[in-house]
Structures are given as C-alpha cells and as structure tokens.
Amino acid sequence: MNDFTFCSPTKFVFGRGVTDRVGPELASAGYAHAFVIYGQGSVVRTGTLGRVLASLDEAGIAHTELGGIRPNPEVGPVRDGIRTAREIGCDLVLAVGGGSVIDTAKSIAVGVPYAGDVWDLFTGAPKPAGELPVASVLTIPAAGSEASAGCVITNDELSLKRGIPFDLRRPVLAFMDPELTFTLPPYQTAAGVSDMIAHVMERYFSAAGPVPITDNVATGIIRCLIKETPRALADPTDYDARANIMWAGMLAHNGLAGLGRGTEPGGSSAGGWESHGLEHELSAHDARVTHGAGLAVIFPAWMRYVWRTCPERFCSFGRDVFGIEPVDPAADGVDVEPEEAVTDAVTATIDELQSFFVSIGMPRTLGELGVTKEQIPALLETLEQNKGPEFGEFKLLTMADARAIYESAL
C-alpha cells in the first residue's frame, strides 16, 4: 500500500425528504445568501427547485438563481455566474442538479476570487486565493461531484474539455434524496452507473500493486451497481435500489476506492485516467455525447488494448467482480496452455463488463454515438493538447495507441 493523504469533509444529509431540509441545514451552518445553480428545466418540472427555494425562504436565507446549465457544461455560463456572484455578494453556491450543475457551481466558486479569466484555472495557472463554499442537492447520481475535489468544464470555442489541475475544497454539504431520482429517464440512469463504474476502474487499474482493502472496496462498489441497476430500471421507484446507486456514485469518486493505489508520494489520487481522457474528446467535440455512454464504449476498448501489460490485474478484477478465473488444466482436466487460459479469462471478463453496459441500454460502439473514422484526427489533435504526446499510467499511450483504441471502438 502506497502512502496517501485523504480528507473527506463533506457533510452528507441522506434519505427521504431531505430536499426540504436544505434551508434549515444551511441556516444552522451560518449561510445567509445562496447563489442557486440549476440545469435546463427538469428540476423545475419536477418541483425540486421549488421545494429547495421554499426551504431557503422558510429559513430566512436569501437566494439568487442561475439556470440553463447544459450537460457537458460550458465555460460561458461559468463566466456569467462569476459576475453575478460578485454582484450579489453571496456566501454559498448551491447546486441543484447532477454533475454538470455541481461542476459549474464549483467553477463559479473558485472563479469569484480569481482576478483573471476562469479558464486560466483549467490550463495550469496559479491557484486562486480561495473559493466560495459549495453545497449540492443531488438529482442525478453519476459524476460523484457532490463529494469530489475536482470539476470538469468544456470550452466550446477551443473544443477542449478539461478538469482543474489542483484539488478544490470539497462541497461543505451534500443533500442526497434518492426519491428525486425516481423520475430519471432509463438512459440517464444507465449512463450515470457507467460513469460510476468507470470512476472505480480508473483507480483500480493504476500502476500500483494489489491493495487488498481498497481493492475490495472498489470491486464491492461495482458488484453492487451491477446488482442494483437492473432493479432500478425495472422499477424506477425502488427506493433501496435507487439509494444504493446514489451512495455508490459518491463512494466511487470521493477517493476512497483508490486509497493506497496512488503512485505519487503523499498523493491520494490513483490511476492514469486514460479512458476518461479518451472519452472527454468525444463529448468536447459533440456535447450531445453523454459522458457515461462514451465511457461504456471506450473503457472496454481500452481494456482489450492494454490488458497484456498486467494480466494478473485483469484476472483479479474478473475474479472479484464476475467470479471469472482462468481454468486450471490439471485441476479442471482440460487441455489448454496457461497463457491461453489467462487470455480466455480476461476476454470473458471484458465481454461480461461490456455486456452489462449494453444490457442497461448503453452503446457498444462509437458509431452508435455518431462518431466516424473521419473524426478521429480531430479527436487526436485536442487529445494531444490536453494530455501531451504520451499519457497514461497502467500503460503509457501514444497518439498512435489512442487512434487504435478509437478505431477498435467504432
């Protein structure tokens, strides 16, 4: 187990009806003016936003609203939000939505005290002097942004999608009401679960060796998601299934599932996040590509390309998630070479993972997302801008490797 530093200071208020406790909780924490950020209308149609605002009013907390945040959020509304936050003098940014809304709120919070353009902070500029506190009312379990120390924003003008290259202060409060997810469309539910599984796997397939306690946490989260997702899709109002999915999304991305696997001294992050890097180009070039759906295609393609770098890691994943192990020629009475047995087990593991994604409604190929072979050079151009000529940790990838992965996923 490698050294790490881990802090998860977010207060979680979890359960039925906690949406109506937002105002009292924030008031008891001393906040007076919330800048409320939300998406493109679902929280209005379902009444969630109204419940939150009513709760704020009852608690005597002033509020200003900014809506219209899209999936794969763009830097333009972040800039608008920063100007508004400065004008109103709010002391908290409150996101009501999923990861896109929360990431927008985080970007606004970190941009308010920064004198330059907020996009500078996504390109490696010096850290800002500070940031406003952020809280969230989670409506779409997926990104895990309600407890993570990062955020991702797209710049449409540059066709770039980037994360802040330093840890943000994690949200101070996260309100997690599984009943809010009953109305999620099946595709959005499935894409969120795919994103969660990818968050765990990016850490699991780091360059570190086995870390049994963390590895069991990681594979346990994935097993839970594989079990609960079909239940939630079959009955969208299955509270327990929805609650387990919502909590798994937080655990998948608050850092817990990678502790001890980081390869930088004293670091808490783990893995090279190769599949996320490859997918970000898809949704940066076309905001209609849902991040989780892109990952459901890219991750199996990456796995098929790199698994021979460390077959043992893939075998442990197959065993602990799907119960798949290489056959033992002597014990099982079969005539097969050990290398072939490992190949068969790893192939079966990747097939099983991809079959799960497809079974819950995710695409199998990039073509289903509208991506063509002719678009790959443009994807590689911005990928190299973001990642450099080589990137990755489990296996160092060149742009030629990235091209091969993209092409294999078409």
pLDDT tens readout for residues 78-106: 999 999 999 999 999 999 999 999 999 99
- DSSP line for 119-148: GGGGTTPPPPS----EEEEE-S-SS-TTT-
Tell which residue, 353, 296, 300, 295, has the closest CA to residue 322. 353
Classify residue 3: in a domain, yes or no. Answer: no
Instruction: Write down which residue in 115, 142, 176 finishes a domain.
Output: 176
Q: Do 329 and 393 reside in the same domain of the chain? A: yes
Classify residue 2: in a domain, yes or no. Answer: no
Q: Do 194 and 121 reside in the same domain of the chain? A: no
* 5-63 confidence digits (pLDDT tens): 888 999 999 999 999 999 999 999 999 999 999 999 899 999 999 999 999 999 999 99
* 161-170 confidence digits (pLDDT tens): 999 888 888 9
Sign of CA dihedral 147, 150, 155, 160: negative
Classify residue 4: in a domain, yes or no. Answer: no
Q: Do 57 and 97 reside in the same domain of the chain? A: yes
Phi, psi of 52 (to 5 degrees): -65, -45
Q: How many domains does the chain have?
A: 2
Q: Do 208 and 288 reside in the same domain of the chain? A: yes
Q: Do 192 and 161 reside in the same domain of the chain? A: no
Q: Do 370 and 327 reside in the same domain of the chain? A: yes
pLDDT of residue 265: 63
The confidence band for 64, taking pLDDT boundaries of 50, 70 and 90, is very high
pLDDT of residue 269: 75
Classify residue 233: in a domain, yes or no. Answer: yes
Q: Do 26 and 123 reside in the same domain of the chain? A: yes
The confidence band for 211, taking pLDDT boundaries of 50, 70 and 90, is very high
Q: Could you count the other beta carbons within 10 Å of the beta carbon of residue 175?
A: 27
* Largest Cα span, the chain: 75
Residue 371 belongs to what domain range? Answer: 187-408
pLDDT of residue 267: 53
The confidence band for 179, taking pLDDT boundaries of 50, 70 and 90, is very high
Q: What is the mean pLDDT of the chain?
A: 95
Classify residue 327: in a domain, yes or no. Answer: yes
* pLDDT surpasses 60 at 266: no
Q: Do 194 and 343 reside in the same domain of the chain? A: yes
Q: Do 136 and 280 reside in the same domain of the chain? A: no
Q: Is 116 exposed, middle or buried (0-12, 13-18, 19+ CB in 10 A)?
A: exposed
Average pLDDT (157-186) is 93
* pLDDT surpasses 60 at 268: no
Amino acid symbol at 273: W
* 128-137 confidence digits (pLDDT tens): 878 999 999 9
Phi, psi of 290 (to 5 degrees): -70, 130
Q: Do 148 and 215 reside in the same domain of the chain? A: no
Average pLDDT (346-373) is 98
Tell which residue, 281, 283, 258, has the closest CA to residue 271. 258
Q: Do 224 and 107 reside in the same domain of the chain? A: no
pLDDT of residue 21: 97
Q: What is the CATH number of the domain that holds 293?
A: 1.20.1090.10
pLDDT of residue 186: 97
Tokens, residue 193: 């679960």
Classify residue 46: in a domain, yes or no. Answer: yes
